[in-house]
Structure 1
Amino acid sequence: MAIEERPWLANYPKGIPAQIDPGQYRSVAALLEECCDRFRHRPAFTNMGRSITYGDLDRLSATFAAFLVNDLKLAKGDRVALMLPNVLQYPIAIMAVLRAGLTVVNTNPMYTPRELKHQLDDSGASAIVVLDNFAHTVAEVIGGTSCKHVICTGIGDLLGFPKSAITNFVVRHVKKMVPPYSIANTIRFNEALGRGTRSKLGKIDVSPDDLAFLQYTGGTTGVAKGAMLTHRNMVANMLQAYAWIGPTMREGEEVVITALPLYHIFALTANFLVFARVGGFNHLITNPRDMPGFVREIRSTGFTALTGVNTLFAGLLNTPGFDQVDFSKLHLTLGGGMAVQRAVADRWKSMTGCTLAEAYGLTETCPAVCINPLDIPEYNGSIGLPIPSTDISIRDDDGNVLKNGETGELCVRGPQVMKGYWNRPDETAKVLSSDGWLRTGDIARIDEKGFVYIVDRKKDMILVSGFNVYPNEIEDVVAQLPGILEVAAVGVPDEKSGEAVKIVVVRKDPNLTEEAIRAHCKANLTGYKLPKYIEFRDSLPKTNVGKILRRELRESMAAAPTH
C-alpha cells in the first residue's frame, strides 16, 4: 500500500512513527525479563492489599517456570491453561509459562463444564492452573481430557501470613465461595513454588514464531476457536500500542487500574505488557462487578490510567461515591471491546476531566488496530487512526477495495495479525488471505483524514425492508435518555419488513415509559430505524468483560413470542 493511500499518517500526533520494529525483542519473555531488570525495585502489581515488585515477579516466575519444566516435565510448545481472575498468581503464571517456552491458554473462570472441556480438548493443554473457586468445574471434566496436571490456588495464597490463611478461610468457610471438588493428585500453587526453588530453569530458546498464546474467540458466534498469537505478534502489538501511548506516559510513575481480566486480550496487552514497558504499577481488581467495592478500592490510589468497556464506565458513573474519587492524576482512559456510547463518554469527561478515547481491536490482532489520538478534546465517535505498521482497507463482499467514505467490511494487515486458528485451516481461510489481510467481520468507513468509524458487526446488522439498520446507532440514540442504564438493539422476524428493530432496555429511572422512549427515538431516527418493539428487563446478558451478547438476546426471543 502506497503512502498516499494511508491518509492517517498525515494526521498522526507529533512524534509517533509510521513503523515499529517487531524484531526489537525475540519473545514476550525477553521483553518482560528486561522490564523486570530495569524496574526491579518498583512495585509491579497489587491486589487485596499485597504488592509485588518487578524483582518479585522475575524471581517467582522463574521459580514457577522451573517447576513446570523440571518437575512436571513439560516440553517446549506444550500448552498450559490458566483459569484465574485478576489475582497476583496470574502475572506470575503468565510470565512463567512464556519463559519456559510453553504456550498460555487463557481460560475464562466462568466457563461451564461443556465450554471448559471443549477448550481443554481443542488446545490439548497438558496442565491447568485454577483458582479453588472454579476447581469444581475442572473436576467435572478433567478425567475425559488429555490434561494431566492440575495446580490449584486460593485467592489469599500470595497475601502473606496471617492474611493469606484468614482470607482463604473466609472465602471457603464463611462466604462459601468454594464449591466442594475432588481432583486426584492436585498440586498447590505455593507447593509448586517451593518445589521450583530446588532446581534452576535452563536456557530455553524461544523464537519469534513460537506460539505465545492460544487466545480463544468466537464463543458468542459458535464454537470457540483458538487464535494462534506468536511471540512476534504480541511483541509487535505491544510496541505499536506503546508507540502511540508512550509519549504521554511517565516512566516509573504510571498507576493503572486493571478491572478487565488479564485473560482478556485487551488487558493482557494494554495493561500488562504496555505498562510493564514503563515500569507501571498495576492495581488488579478481582471482582469489578462489585461496583461499590471497586469504587472504594480505587478512591485514593491516585491512578493515572484506566481501561475498560462501555458497560464498565457506565457502571462506575452510576455508582454512588464515584464522583468522590481522586481523578487529579488521571490522564489516560481507553475504551474498547465494544462501542463506546457518546452519552457515557460525555458524562465521563464531565465527571473525571479526562477524555474517554475509543480504541479498536480483535483477539486475532493481539488486539490493537486503531486508537484515537490521546490529545483529542472530546469523544469523536471514531475508533481512531490505524496504529504504526498497520494497514487497513474497506472492502465489499467480493473483496473489492472501496473508496473513502464508503461503507464495507474492515480488513487489517500488520505484524499483529494472528498466525491463524489452531487446527482449523478451513476457518483460517475464511478470514485470512494469502497476502496477510484479515477480514474482521465489522462494517466500517474511513474518512478523508484516515479516521475509522465502526458502523456495526456484520452479523448483527438488521435488514428492514431492504435497508441496513445498525444496532450501534439505535443503542447510541436510546442511551442518551437520562433514564436509561443499558440498552441493546436486535433484529426480530417481521411479516411486512422481513426484520424489525427491537430494543431491550434496563432502566435507571423506574418511571421511564415506553412512550417516552418512542418519542425520543422518533425525534432522532428515521422511520425504518425506529424500534417496533420495546422490552424492559432487569439485566442484559453479557460476556465475561461486560460486552452485551446480542446473539443470546436474539436466541431468547426466538424461543418466546415477540411483544
Structure 2
Amino acid sequence: MTTTHDPMAAYARLVGPGGPFEMVEDDVLGTRMPVYRNRAHALHEVLADSVQYADRTYVATADDRVTFAEHASRVSSLAKALTDEYGVKKGDRVVISAANTIEWIESFWAVVSLGAVAVAFNAWWSDREVEHGLGLTEPVLAIADAKRVDALKQHGLPVLTVEDDVPTLRAAHPDAPLPSADVAEDDPAVLIFTSGTSGHPKGATHSHRNLLAVVEYHRMNDALLAAFGDPTDPRDRAYLLVSPLFHIASLHNLALPRLATGSKVVLHLGAFDVERIYALIEKERVTNWGAVPTMASRMLDADIADKFDLSSLTSFSLASAPSSLALKQRLRENLPFATALVDSYGLTETCTGVSAATPADQAEVPGTVGRATYGVQLEIRDPLGNALGPGVEGEVCVRSCYNMVGYWRNDEATSDTIREDRWLHTGDLGEIDEQGRLRLSSRRSDLIIRGGENVYPVEVENVLTEHPDVVECLVYGVAHEDLGQEVAVVVVHGETEPSVDDLTAFLKRELAYYKVPAHWRLTSAPLARNATGKVKRSAVLAED
C-alpha cells in the first residue's frame, strides 16, 4: 500500500488546535494577541532544560569548545558569584561590552537567568556613546574585554574582565545550583541599542516573553523541516555566528535558541576574514549561516570557495540589511551553498524576522522579502492609520508577541513607535501583494545601512554641529559596492573653513567609526530650505 506524505497536513498538526506550536490569544501588556500555548515563562527554564544535551557541543570556536553540561555549570558558578560577591539581583542592569567570545554568551545567560537585565553595549561605541548608555541604563556592574574596560571604569562602574575575571568566577563554584528568578513574562531581559533617530542610541527593551517566543519560533522551524521531509536531527545542525552578539541576529536568533534545540553554535572570533571563516565551516561542518550582504560580497571578491570543503553548508541566508537583486544572482551563480538563497526582513524592535522569502518566492517575485513570520500580524497603513489593500504602498506595521516592550526610559519614542493595540510602526514603506508577500519600497526615512550597521543621519549631524567651525550640515547615504552604503555629508562652515581631516578626527572621538562620513563636501553656502524652514534634502543632494 502506498502512502502519500502531505507537508501541509503535517504543518497543520504542528500549529493547529492541540499542536505543539499552537497559538492562542492572551493578554500582553493590556492587549490581546496570539502567543504560543506551550511556552516557557522565564529564560532560566531554557538553561535548565539544556542540561539534557550533556556532552554535545554548545559553542565551538577555532581553538576552543564548551559542551552544554559545561556551559550550564559555568553559568551557574558565574551567576552565584554575581549574586554573592557583586549583589546582582532581579531587575538590575548588567552591561556586557565586548567582542564576540564564549564568555560573552556565558555572561548573558548568567545575567538573564538571575532575572537581571543584560545591557548589550555596541562594542564599537565611542566614549561619548558609552557615557550615554551608562546614564540611560544605570547599571550596577559591567562585564567587558580588555579593549573596553577603561571606557567603563572611568565612570566609576565596577567592571569584570572577560579575559581574567569571568574564567575565574565561572569555575569558582562548581557545585552551584542552576540560577533562577521569579520573573513575569513581560519583565525586561535584554536591552539592545538602536541608532538614535533623535540624536542618541535608544535601548530596545526585550522581555522574557519576547525572547522565549523567538525560541519557540526556531523550534517550530526545526519541526517544520522534519515535517517537510528533512531527516536531519536538529541537534546535528551547526550554526555559524559571525555578526556581533549585540545584534538580534546573533543573540536572539542564534545563541539563544540553539541552547534550547541542542544545536552547535560555531563562533567566529575577530574581524571578518573569508579564509578563516571557510576553514571554520570546513572544520566544524557548519550547516546554517545567515550573513549580511557585505560579508557575501567579500566572499565573492575573495573567490576561494573551491579551496575548501563547504559541502555541509546547505542553508544560507541574507539578513540585517537590504541586498540587491544583482548581488543575490551573483551569489547563486558563484557560491555553491547559495543556490537556495533565503532573504528576510526584520528590525531590532521586532526581535526576529518580520517576514522571510523562500527561493521560490524570490524566483516568482524578485525583490520580495516574503510572507509574514508565523505569529506576526502584518499590515500596510496610510498616514491616518488605516489598513491598505494589496498592491497599495504605505507604512509597514507589525504586531506580535516577538515585538519589544518599548524603548528603555523613553516614553515619547515608545508611544511614537508602538501605538494603539501595540501595533509597531516601522517607518518603512512597502506593499503586500495578493499572495501576502511583502515588498519594501524604502527603509526608514533617511536611514543609512553601512555594512549591516544602522546610521541615523540626525545622530551624526547633532555631533558634527558641535564643532565650532560648522554652521549646519546634512548627512546622507551613498551607494557602495562592498558595504551597501557609506556615510556622506555636506558641511556648511563659517568664516573659517575646517579641514576634512580635522572634522573626521573630531567625529572619531565622539562616534563609532562606522558613523563617520567617508565622503565630504564643504561649502559656505547655506543649505536650501523650504517655506517652513526645513532643509530640502532633494535640492541639496542634487548638487552632488
Query: Distance between the aligned counterparts of 1:48 and 1:133, measured in 2?
Result: 21
In the alignment, structure 1 residue 397 sits paired with structure 2 residue 383: yes
Query: Distance between the aligned counterparts of 2:86 and 2:188, measured in 1?
Result: 20
The match for 1:138 among 152, 155, 161 is: 152
AA aligned opposite 2:155: I
| 1:177-192 equivalence runs, <5 A | 188-192=165-169
Query: Distance between the aligned counterparts of 2:523 and 2:188, measured in 1?
Result: 41
2:58 match: 44
Given that residues 305 and 330 in structure 1 are in contact (C-alpha distance below 8 angstroms), is that contact kept between their aligned partners in structure 2?
yes
TM-score, length of structure 1 as denominator length: 0.72
Q: CA deviation at 1:333?
A: 1.5
The match for 2:408 among 414, 419, 422 is: 422
Query: Tell me, which stretches of 5 or more residues in structure 1 are unaligned?
Result: 1-9, 158-187, 462-470, 476-487, 491-498, 509-546
Q: CA deviation at 1:555?
A: 8.6
Q: CA deviation at 1:53?
A: 0.5
In the alignment, structure 1 residue 437 sits paired with structure 2 residue 423: yes
Q: CA deviation at 1:16?
A: 6.5
AA aligned opposite 2:48: E
Question: CA separation of 1:558/1:223 partners in 2, compared to 1, >3 Å: closer, same or farther?
Answer: farther
In the alignment, structure 1 residue 352 sits paired with structure 2 residue 352: no
Given that residues 73 and 176 in structure 2 are in contact (C-alpha distance below 8 angstroms), is that contact kept between their aligned partners in structure 1?
no
Given that residues 426 and 444 in structure 2 are in contact (C-alpha distance below 8 angstroms), is that contact kept between their aligned partners in structure 1?
no
SS of 1:406's equivalent?
Answer: coil
Question: CA separation of 1:217/1:102 partners in 2, compared to 1, >3 Å: closer, same or farther?
Answer: same
Given that residues 238 and 288 in structure 2 are in contact (C-alpha distance below 8 angstroms), is that contact kept between their aligned partners in structure 1?
yes
Given that residues 56 and 67 in structure 2 are in contact (C-alpha distance below 8 angstroms), is that contact kept between their aligned partners in structure 1?
yes
Could you report, residue by residue, the CA deviation over 1:448-499 in whole angstroms, capped at 9, with x for unpaired residues?
A: 00011111124128xxxxxxxxx99xx9xxxxxxxxxxxx9x9xxxxxxxx9
Query: Tell me, which stretches of 5 or more residues in structure 2 are unaligned?
Result: 1-7, 17-21, 24-34, 226-231, 458-473, 484-511, 526-542
Q: What count of residue pairs does the alignment treat as equivalent?
A: 444
Query: Distance between the aligned counterparts of 2:238 and 2:272, measured in 1?
Result: 21
1:412 match: 398
Q: CA deviation at 1:311?
A: 0.8
Q: CA deviation at 1:45?
A: 0.4
Single out whichever of 56-65 and 353-362 deviates more from structure 2.
353-362
The match for 2:313 among 317, 323, 330 is: 330
Over the matched positions of the two proteins, sequence identity in percent amounts to 23
Question: CA separation of 1:415/1:127 partners in 2, compared to 1, >3 Å: closer, same or farther?
Answer: same
Question: CA separation of 1:291/1:84 partners in 2, compared to 1, >3 Å: closer, same or farther?
Answer: same
| 1:533-544 equivalence runs, <5 A | none
Query: Distance between the aligned counterparts of 2:251 and 2:155, measured in 1?
Result: 26
AA aligned opposite 1:330: L
Q: CA deviation at 1:56?
A: 0.9
Query: Distance between the aligned counterparts of 1:82 and 1:559, measured in 2?
Result: 42
Could you report, residue by residue, the CA deviation over 1:495-516 in whole angstroms, capped at 9, with x for unpaired residues?
A: xxxx9x98444589xxxxxxxx
In the alignment, structure 1 residue 210 sits paired with structure 2 residue 187: yes
The match for 1:114 among 115, 122, 128 is: 128
In the alignment, structure 1 residue 302 sits paired with structure 2 residue 302: no
Given that residues 81 and 105 in structure 1 are in contact (C-alpha distance below 8 angstroms), is that contact kept between their aligned partners in structure 2?
yes
Q: CA deviation at 1:199?
A: 5.7
In the alignment, structure 1 residue 231 sits paired with structure 2 residue 208: yes
Q: CA deviation at 1:80?
A: 0.6
Could you report, residue by residue, the CA deviation over 1:267-289 in whole angstroms, capped at 9, with x for unpaired residues?
A: 11221123333311111112242
1:67 match: 81
Given that residues 45 and 281 in structure 1 are in contact (C-alpha distance below 8 angstroms), is that contact kept between their aligned partners in structure 2?
yes
Given that residues 336 and 360 in structure 1 are in contact (C-alpha distance below 8 angstroms), is that contact kept between their aligned partners in structure 2?
yes
Query: Distance between the aligned counterparts of 1:455 and 1:548, measured in 2?
Result: 28
In the alignment, structure 1 residue 254 sits paired with structure 2 residue 233: no
2:160 match: 151
Given that residues 79 and 179 in structure 2 are in contact (C-alpha distance below 8 angstroms), is that contact kept between their aligned partners in structure 1?
no
Query: Distance between the aligned counterparts of 1:353 and 1:64, measured in 2?
Result: 39
Question: CA separation of 1:14/1:382 partners in 2, compared to 1, >3 Å: closer, same or farther?
Answer: farther
The match for 1:372 among 350, 354, 357 is: 357
1:84 match: 98
2:299 match: 316
Question: CA separation of 1:61/1:123 partners in 2, compared to 1, >3 Å: closer, same or farther?
Answer: same
Could you report, residue by residue, the CA deviation over 1:410-452 in whole angstroms, capped at 9, with x for unpaired residues?
A: 0000111111111111111111113110000111110100011
Q: CA deviation at 1:13?
A: 7.6
Q: CA deviation at 1:250?
A: 2.7
The match for 1:274 among 248, 257, 261 is: 257
AA aligned opposite 1:151: L
Q: CA deviation at 1:29?
A: 2.1
Given that residues 238 and 264 in structure 2 are in contact (C-alpha distance below 8 angstroms), is that contact kept between their aligned partners in structure 1?
yes
Question: CA separation of 1:12/1:242 partners in 2, compared to 1, >3 Å: closer, same or farther?
Answer: same
Could you report, residue by residue, the CA deviation over 1:383-415 in whole angstroms, capped at 9, with x for unpaired residues?
A: 111112210111122212111111111000011
Query: Distance between the aligned counterparts of 1:358 and 1:373, measured in 2?
Result: 7
AA aligned opposite 2:414: T
1:26 match: 41
Single out whichever of 238-247 and 193-202 deviates more from structure 2.
193-202
Single out whichever of 121-130 and 552-561 deviates more from structure 2.
552-561
RMSD: 3.3
Single out whichever of 53-62 and 364-373 deviates more from structure 2.
364-373
Question: CA separation of 1:132/1:553 partners in 2, compared to 1, >3 Å: closer, same or farther?
Answer: closer
Q: CA deviation at 1:136?
A: 3.0
